[in-house]
Chains A and B, each alone.
Chain A
Amino acid sequence: MSALDREDLSDVCRQIYKTAENDFVLPPLLRDANALGQGPKHTYFGLTKNDCVRFIVELDEAYLNRSSFPLSRLPLKFRCELCDLDFKETPVQLSQSESRELIRAFFLGVKTPINAELNPLTRGIKFSIQLSSSFFVEFAELPAENHKLAPEAICRWVSGSLYEKSQEFFGGAQDGMAVWTARTTQELFGEPKPLPDTYWPHEPLRAAVAIEAAPIIAVNPPVPTFAATDCRIIAQRPAAPISVIERPSRLHAAFAAMLVAMAGASCLPLVAQTPPAVAPMKTAESVPAPKKEAPVSIARLDIETPPTQVSRPEPLPELAPAAAPISSPMPECVSPALSGDVQQLEAAKPSGATTVKPKPQAHKTVRAKTAPRPTQPQQANPLVAVGRAAGKAVSTVVTNLQQLPNQLSAMMRPHRDQSF
Chain B
Amino acid sequence: MEFGDDLYARWFSRLELTRASGGEALLMAPTKFMKLWIEAHYLQGLRACLAAEFSEIDSVSIIVSENHAPRSHLEAPTGGSAAAGD
Contact = CB atoms under 8 A, between A and B. Distances in A.
Interface of A: 21, 113-118, 123, 125, 144, 147, 150-151, 186-195
Interface in B40-65: 40-41, 65
Contacts of A113: 69
A21 B72 CA distance: 9
Given A187-B70, A193-B70, 19 more contacts: A116-B33, A116-B36, A116-B37, A123-B40, A125-B37, A144-B40, A187-B31, A187-B33, A188-B31, A188-B33, A189-B30, A189-B31, A189-B33, A189-B34, A190-B31, A190-B34, A192-B72, A194-B72, A194-B73
B71 A192 contact: yes
A188 B34 contact: yes
B72 A193 contact: yes
Given A150-B10, A188-B31, A188-B33, A125 B70 contact: no
A416 to B, nearest CB: 74
Contacts of A150: 10
Contacts of B8: none
Interface of B: 10-11, 14, 30-34, 36-37, 40-41, 65, 68-75
Q: Which of B14, B32, B74 has the most CB of A within 10 A?
A: B32
Please name the 8 residue pairs, one residue from A and one from B, whose CB atoms are nearest each other, closest first.
A190-B30, A186-B70, A188-B33, A147-B41, A116-B33, A193-B70, A190-B31, A193-B72
B56 to A, nearest CB: 29
Contacts of A192: 70-73
Contacts of B32: 115-116
Contacts of B37: 116, 125
Contacts of B36: 116-118, 125
A274 to B, nearest CB: 69
A192 B30 CA distance: 11
B35 to A, nearest CB: 9
Contacts of A186: 70
A114 B69 CA distance: 10
Nearest to B71: A193
Contacts of A194: 72-73
Nearest to A147: B41
Contacts of B31: 187-190
24 contacts: A21-B72, A113-B69, A114-B33, A116-B32, A116-B33, A117-B36, A118-B36, A125-B36, A125-B40, A150-B10, A151-B10, A187-B31, A187-B70, A188-B31, A189-B30, A189-B31, A189-B34, A190-B30, A190-B34, A191-B70, A192-B71, A192-B73, A193-B73, A195-B74
A118 B40 contact: yes
Contacts of A187: 31, 33, 70
Q: Which of B31, B33, B40, B73 has the most CB of A within 10 A?
A: B33
